[in-house]
């Protein structure tokens, strides 16, 4: 299995402004620990973290004309139309000085995936997939305490259904292209990060460590 560093030229894409970037998609069910591990990766490997959910929540707060629509979709656990989310991601990439991005919680369905590829021309370097049993994800979401309107049991069930029906096929698509790095996300945060590090660190560094 190639590491991120070994295959550094495969994941590049060029945005309309000609900015060349490397992108890793960070996927997994709601509550699998995507955001938590992205924070660790940022601290250790110099990536910039872009959470699609965070960008959508910021868009609601900014008083955007799409705010009510986005808010209603999130409360129902539905996936916001790609056009909206991709614009936010593109803007965030272009405004940032970094050229290495973790895109967390996107693409969440086939429409997200195909539209992003078409609009940005970016192919992900690889896909980090946090695999976690539903009952553990449910426990984590109910204990998250971030005041999120979608972290209630009714919406959580809807999000799990959307994940199974719409998001897992995207992971399967990338798996068939050999891009998925599957991580057992049911373990403690530190243990999960050890597995994440193995994806990022080149083989020679692993031997030296
Ligand atoms: N490995 C873990 N074990 C236990 N709790 C975790 C773990 N990873 C994250 N959490 C907690 O679970 C909740 C969901 O994690 P988060 O990173 O927000 O997941 P996601 O972005 O995939 O929804 C948070 O309260 C977080 O602190
Ligand atoms: N690509 C995306 C990502 C999130 N979202 C919406 O934002 C919600 C929260 O996403 P999130 O990534 O912050 O949620 P977690 O998986 O981190 O719990 C999702 O349930 C969707 O309603 C979306 O519509 N499209
Ligand atoms: Mg998250």
- pLDDT tens per residue, range 79-92: 999 999 999 999 99
Q: Which of the listed residues 50, 53, 164 should we mutate to test ligand 2's pocket, taking the one with most ligand atoms within 8 A of CB?
A: 53
- pLDDT tens per residue, range 6-22: 333 456 676 666 779 99
Question: Is 188 close to ligand 1, i.e. is its CB under 6 Å away?
Answer: yes
- pLDDT tens per residue, range 132-143: 999 999 999 999
Q: Which of the listed residues 134, 140, 184 should we mutate to test ligand 1's pocket, taking the one with most ligand atoms within 8 A of CB?
A: 140
Here the ipTM equals 0.99
Q: What are phi and psi of 114, to 5 degrees?
A: -70, -40
Ligand 1 atom closest to the CA of 51, numbered from 1 = 21
Q: Which residues line ligand 2 (CB under 6 A)?
A: 30-31, 34-35, 51-53, 56, 73-74, 77-80, 85, 105-106, 108, 112, 150, 159
Mean per-residue pLDDT, 99-125: 97
Q: Both tokens of residue 123?
A: 């192919």
- pLDDT tens per residue, range 90-106: 999 999 999 999 999 99
- The mean predicted confidence, pLDDT, of the chain is 92
- pLDDT tens per residue, range 33-64: 999 999 999 999 999 999 999 999 999 999 99
* pLDDT surpassing 80 at residue 193: yes
Burial class (CB in 10 A: 0-12, 13-18, 19+), 2: middle
- pLDDT tens per residue, range 143-181: 999 999 999 999 999 999 999 999 999 999 999 999 999
Contact assessment for residue 167 and residue 27, using Cβ atoms and an 8 Å cutoff? yes
- Residue whose Cα lies nearest atom 14 of ligand 1: it is 31
Q: What are phi and psi of 36, to 5 degrees?
A: -60, -45
Task: Report DSSP letters for the chain, one per residue.
Answer: ---TTTTTTTTEEE-TT--EEEEEEEEESTTSSHHHHHHHHHHHH-PEEEEHHHHHHHHHHTT-TTHHHHHHHHHTTPPPPHHHHHHHHHHHHHH-S-SEEEEET---SHHHHHHHHHHH-PPPSEEEEEE--HHHHHHHHHT--S--TT-SHHHHHHHHHHIIIIIHHHHHHHHHTT-EEEEETTS-HHHHHHHHHHHHS-HHHHHH-
| pLDDT band for position 122 (cuts 50, 70, 90) | very high
């Amino acid at each position: 299995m190639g590491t991120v560093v070994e295959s550094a030229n495969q994941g590049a894409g060029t945005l309309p402004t000609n900015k060349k970037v490397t992108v890793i998609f960070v996927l997994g069910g709601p509550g699998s620990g995507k955001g938590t591990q992205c924070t660790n990766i940022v601290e250790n490997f110099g990536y910039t973290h872009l959470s699609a959910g965070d960008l959508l929540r910021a868009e609601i707060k900014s008083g955007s004309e799409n705010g009510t629509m986005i808010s209603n979709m999130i409360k129902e656990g539905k996936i916001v139309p790609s056009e909206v989310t991709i614009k936010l991601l593109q803007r965030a990439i272009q405004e940032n000085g970094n050229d290495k991005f973790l895109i967390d919680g996107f693409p969440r369905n086939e429409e997200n995936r195909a539209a992003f590829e078409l609009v940005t021309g970016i192919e992900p370097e690889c896909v980090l997939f946090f695999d976690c049993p539903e009952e553990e994800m449910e426990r984590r979401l109910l204990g998250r305490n971030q005041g999120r309107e979608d972290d209630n049991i009714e919406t959580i069930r809807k999000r799990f259904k959307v994940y199974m029906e719409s998001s897992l096929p995207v992971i399967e698509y990338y798996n068939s292209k050999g891009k998925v790095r599957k991580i057992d996300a049911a373990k403690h945060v530190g243990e999960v990060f050890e597995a994440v590090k193995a994806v990022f660190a080149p083989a020679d560094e692993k031997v030296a460590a």
